[in-house]
Amino acid sequence: MKMPYMGKILVVDLTRGVMEEETIPDRVYEQYLSGMGLGAYILYHRVPPGADPLGPDNILGFCSGLLTGTGSLFSGRWMLVGKSPLTGGWGDANCGGTFSPAIKRCGYDALFFKGTSRDPVYLYVKNGRANLKDAGDLWGMDAVETEELLKERHGAKAAVAVIGTAGERLSLISGVCNDRGRIAARSGLGAVMGSKRLKAVVLDGVKRIGVHDRAEMKNLSKHCIKWVNLPLPLPPAGIFARAGALMRVTPVLLAQDGLLYRSILKKWGTAGMNQVSIEMGDAPIKNWDGSNVDFPLEKSRKISPAIIREREIMKYHCYSCPLGCGGISAATGKYARIHKPEYESILALGALCMNEDLDSVYYLNELLNRAGMDTISAGGTAAFAIECYEKGILTGGDTDGLELKWGNTEALVALIKKMIRREGIGDLLADGVKIAAEKIGKGSMEYAIQAGGQELPMHDGRNDPGFNVHYSLEPAPGKHTTGAHLYYEMFQLWKKLKDLPNPGLFITKDGKFEIDEDKARAAAACSTFMSLANAAGMCLFGLFLGATRIPTFEWLNAAMGRQWSPEEYMVIGERIHTLKQAFNVKHGIESRDNFASGRALGVIPQQEGANKGRSVDIEKHAPLYWKQFGWDTETGKPKPETLRKLGIE
């Protein structure tokens, strides 16, 4: 029977310069699929407890999704996995682009790197032959320059994943790029790659990817594309801010249907949400201390979706994506054609730092992409530094003379350049807010907004408490790509899994803040589903179409020749999710240490703005959430009987 997985991984020992192919038994794919599931399986068993994330015992994995290359849609995400130097526990980051199918075309489901090379190297795989090559000439180059040079050297068809200078300098907020600056940014895994002195991975293969029932895959994709292309009248972008303002004041909201978000993504990309999010209270402002009152319409107008779209010169689609939420933009100065900044980057480098200068946001976004530094973490860390300066915790003597005032664009640009170069104050900040606050002391930890050491993304959990639940309780904390109340509404999983609660058509704002069993089941379903989706290689934005429109379970069945039910697939998601949590236990992570910062939780509620008076009691959420997975309700540790039930050795 033809299977959508390649059945093999490549393990590269960088200390010894040795590469070995390993065959993975079918039962592993049945239990974990591929992608993040396979990554969790390998890392859980092979990274020893106490391993230094930046030492030779850590393993860095590049994993392709089980559905990648099968004719399914939205299935081209690759997963980067490793022990995170930023959080000390399970780390993952995921990225689109074109790298994921290239892994499989080289004959592997994943590539794993262990050990540490003495000198900079890159891996080159061509038609089944893998070689480590000298990267001495590439070390010190930015990610885009390196990718261009490697494509010149090995052919334009080669797919390249690469670190920039931030990863080389072991910045704990660095990631790994592909496709000219699209970045698997989170968890600090660029530093792991840098610590291994692995500059790049270059893949050029032609292997065919098997599928059990290609005709059925096609039929299912046709069904999905119908929903992607379904015409829906869209309001002009100018109305978004007013819609956000209305959502701020109304006590009852319509449950969100992902079709509307699909249309916004298609036309404006994630930047379509810029103003709506600020107005409704989704976007954190002024290092999470401000609100829409501090960043009113006169300011947010400068980052309106219409303005971002005006600068776009063409759409950008990841592999196998019919939607194309990305874009290539025209820019002035040194970099003429750049990736359009995403919502996360625009807000992190903008309103979070009270910066209203859009040109600087484009410029910083490109600098950070080229350096391979996470824009969310960089913006969050800059905002922290500005607040410390404004409060007198940092002085001009500490900041190399930079006047870190809210809205001082020039100082912000200079600060981020210093962070990239690890120069002066930038060296202190290049490892993120938590480490910086530990070094600075003087009560600065209060202003370091993070979960488990990772800077929080641009979605305020005081607006949607589900974000705070997932920021605090996921094995990889501080990420926005697994769940929220909003995500549960859009996934519409209850249409496939009859035991899951249906949130109904109308959602009361106060109701979102109630803590009960149904909320915990919904949150657990998001975590489980996203663990499954990340094993399949699916894009979150595709999944927002809703479970009956994007046939994830059906594609998996057609690709593998199975007749498994959605419930059976969710057990796979549960197993992967539990294994990541078990990884954290093995590496000494206490679940409560991952809870989000007090300010983000609203421990002291805000006095004005969209989220006035709101707080989230994560201590009450945690036991209910842990219970759904059979984890100890006091500690969050998976119980032995749970591990046994899931077949985790």
In the complex, which residues of this chain contact ligand SF4 (CB under 6 A)?
Answer: 74, 96, 317-318, 321, 323-326, 539, 541
- Name the minimum Å distance from CB 97 to ligand SF4: 8
* C-alpha dist (Å) from residue 166 to 132, 298, 312, 511: 22, 35, 27, 43
Burial of 243 from C-beta contacts in 10 A (0-12 / 13-18 / 19+): middle
The residue count for the chain: 649
- Name the minimum Å distance from CB 184 to ligand SF4: 12
Q: Measuring CA to CA, which residue among 11, 7, 35 is closest to residue 572?
A: 35
Q: Which residue has the tokens 């206490």?
A: 590
Query: What span, in angstroms and rounded, lies between the C-alpha atoms of 479 and 467?
Result: 9
State the number of CA atoms in the 13 A half-sphere of 639 facing the CB: 12
- Name the minimum Å distance from CB 5 to ligand SF4: 20
Q: Toward ligand SF4, which CB reaches closer, 56 or 324? A: 324
Q: Toward ligand SF4, which CB reaches closer, 347 or 451? A: 347
Secondary structure letter of residue 569 according to DSSP: H
- Name the minimum Å distance from CB 340 to ligand SF4: 11
Q: Toward ligand SF4, which CB reaches closer, 215 or 232? A: 232
- Name the minimum Å distance from CB 486 to ligand SF4: 17
Q: Toward ligand SF4, which CB reaches closer, 550 or 596? A: 550
- Name the minimum Å distance from CB 322 to ligand SF4: 8
Burial of 333 from C-beta contacts in 10 A (0-12 / 13-18 / 19+): exposed
3-state helix, strand, coil in the chain (%, to 5): 45, 15, 40
Straight-line distance from the first to the last Cα atom of the chain, in angstroms, rounded to the nearest whole number:
28
- Name the minimum Å distance from CB 96 to ligand SF4: 4
Q: Toward ligand SF4, which CB reaches closer, 321 or 433? A: 321
- Name the minimum Å distance from CB 74 to ligand SF4: 5
| Both structure tokens of 223 | 């069904």
- Name the minimum Å distance from CB 507 to ligand SF4: 25
Give yes or no for a contact between 539 and 77, defined as CB atoms under 8 angstroms apart. Answer: yes
Q: Toward ligand SF4, which CB reaches closer, 74 or 487? A: 74
Q: Toward ligand SF4, which CB reaches closer, 318 or 523? A: 318
Q: What single letter denotes the amino acid at residue 567?
A: E
- Name the minimum Å distance from CB 165 to ligand SF4: 25
Q: Toward ligand SF4, which CB reaches closer, 87 or 94? A: 94
* C-alpha dist (Å) from residue 293 to 297, 457, 600: 9, 20, 17
Q: Which long-range contacts (CB under 8 A, 24 or more apart) does 519-523 make?
A: 519/466, 519/469, 519/485, 519/621, 519/624, 520/621, 520/624, 520/625, 520/627, 520/628, 521/628, 522/466, 522/485, 522/488, 523/466, 523/469, 523/470, 523/473, 523/483, 523/488, 523/621, 523/625, 523/628
Q: Toward ligand SF4, which CB reaches closer, 201 or 321? A: 321
Q: Which residues pair with 81 in a beta bridge?
A: 61, 92
Q: Which residue has the tokens 């002009």?
A: 236
**Axis crossing angle, helix 566-586 with helix 517-536, rounded to the nearest 10:** 90
User: Which helix (DSSP H) or strand (DSSP E) does residue 370 occupy?
Assistant: helix 358-371
Q: Toward ligand SF4, which CB reaches closer, 316 or 583? A: 316
Give yes or no for a contact between 37 and 102, defined as CB atoms under 8 angstroms apart. Answer: no
Q: Toward ligand SF4, which CB reaches closer, 73 or 123? A: 73
- Name the minimum Å distance from CB 323 to ligand SF4: 4
Q: Toward ligand SF4, which CB reaches closer, 277 or 578? A: 277
- Name the minimum Å distance from CB 531 to ligand SF4: 18
Give yes or no for a contact between 417 and 426, defined as CB atoms under 8 angstroms apart. Answer: yes
Q: Toward ligand SF4, which CB reaches closer, 541 or 595? A: 541
- Name the minimum Å distance from CB 182 to ligand SF4: 8
